[in-house]
Amino acid sequence: MRYGALEAGGTKMVMAVMNESGDTLQRETIPTLTPADTMPRMIGFFRDNKADVLGVGSFGPLDLNPASPAFGSVTITPKLAWCNYPMLKVFRDELKIPVAIDTDVNAAALAEFMLGAAKGKSSCMYVTVGTGVGGGLIVNGKPVHGFMHPEIGHIPLIPDPEDPTPDGFCPYHKHCMEGLAAGPAIEKRWGISAKELPQDHPAWKLEIYYMSQLCANAMFSFSPEIIILGGGVMQQKFMIPAIRKKTVELLGGYFPEPLIADGLSSYIVEPGLGTASGITGAWLLAKQLTETDN
């Protein structure tokens, strides 16, 4: 069995064909352009490399209601060419193989849950802070969809009084997490890419505050057993200890002492699978499909 895996991101599409054990047999990355340009290249890759099934972890929002006629479509997105694009249907129609789809962050959360930092837990939250902010949630071993699917990147936060752009940059909301703290927001606020900012730049104090609000909100809302922070901006490794410290402060002593006694050092963590969580999650979605089909 050859498992197709697609990590469909807003800037790039990572495609792989993997074997039963998760070894990569073929892999290719292409930029995310319009569906007319990008879909035929992806279909070609999975066809040429003889994928028997395909798992897709995609940017969203997605329609994940199996009863909906638009199941597996991208819904509203600032990436206008992809608005209402029926990604799942097109893959199924063209490839004529079983295809499963979930959000990119649910896929990454699933991978961390099964094989990474959350192995052995019964729930976890995976957050990516990159071009956008997204959070995937696994509860009792299953990705949470619910009403639509969690959109924790758009939770409103309290702007830092020292933030020169306290409304943030989300086209939909004022001062939501993504609008305040995604990579492009950092760049718009300070006029310099997050990658280039020195560690002592005031940008990081704001970023740590926003990340900590997100973690505290998640703990109060869903009580995941572990929070995993990934994505480009989280490559700044010095942030995680500072986020733990600030989150403890924001919790205000509300969670009992044994839980946070170690300063959340085993609670707010980096991905166990490094940058491979997304593609591994897509592979797991493909694998689960064969398990449920059989």
Residues within the interface to ligand ADP (CB under 6 A): 9-11, 130-131, 183-184, 193-195, 231-233, 235-236
Nearer CB in complex with ligand ADP: 229/289:
229
Structure tokens given for 151: 């959109």
Nearer CB in complex with ligand ADP: 51/133:
133
Q: Which does 176 bind (CB under 5 to 8 A by kind): ligand ADP, Zn ion, none?
A: Zn ion
* Minimal distance, residue 165 CB to Zn ion, in Å: 14
* Minimal distance, residue 228 CB to ligand ADP, in Å: 14
**CA 49 to mean position of chain CA atoms:** 26
* Minimal distance, residue 131 CB to ligand ADP, in Å: 3
Instruction: Burial-class residue 209 by CB neighbours within 10 Å (0-12, 13-18, 19+).
Output: buried
Torsion of CA 110, 115, 119, 120, to 10 degrees: 100
* Minimal distance, residue 174 CB to Zn ion, in Å: 8
* Minimal distance, residue 104 CB to ligand ADP, in Å: 8
Q: Which does 135 bind (CB under 5 to 8 A by kind): ligand ADP, Zn ion, none?
A: none
Q: What is the Cα Rg of the chain in Å?
A: 19
User: Hey, which residues between 166 and 195 contact Zn ion (CB under 5 A)?
Assistant: 170, 172-173, 176, 179
Nearer CB in complex with ligand ADP: 231/281:
231
Sheet containing 142-143, strands listed edge to edge, beginning at the edge strand earlier in sequence: 142-143, 133-139, 123-129, 227-230, 268-269
User: Hey, which residues between 107 and 166 contact Zn ion (CB under 5 A)?
Assistant: 154
Q: Which does 236 bind (CB under 5 to 8 A by kind): ligand ADP, Zn ion, none?
A: ligand ADP
Q: Which does 154 bind (CB under 5 to 8 A by kind): ligand ADP, Zn ion, none?
A: Zn ion
Nearer CB in complex with ligand ADP: 65/235:
235
Angle at 3 between CA 141 and CA 115, to 5 degrees: 35
Nearer CB in complex with Zn ion: 39/148:
148
Q: Which does 143 bind (CB under 5 to 8 A by kind): Zn ion, ligand ADP, none?
A: none
Nearer CB in complex with Zn ion: 92/173:
173
* Minimal distance, residue 22 CB to ligand ADP, in Å: 21
Q: Which does 233 bind (CB under 5 to 8 A by kind): ligand ADP, Zn ion, none?
A: ligand ADP
Interatomic CA distance for residues 28 and 14, integer angstroms = 6
Nearer CB in complex with ligand ADP: 112/289:
112
Report the candidate in 153, 158, 156 with the shortest Cα–Cα distance to residue 176: 156
Which residues lie near Zn ion (CB under 5 A)?
Answer: 154, 170, 172-173, 176, 179
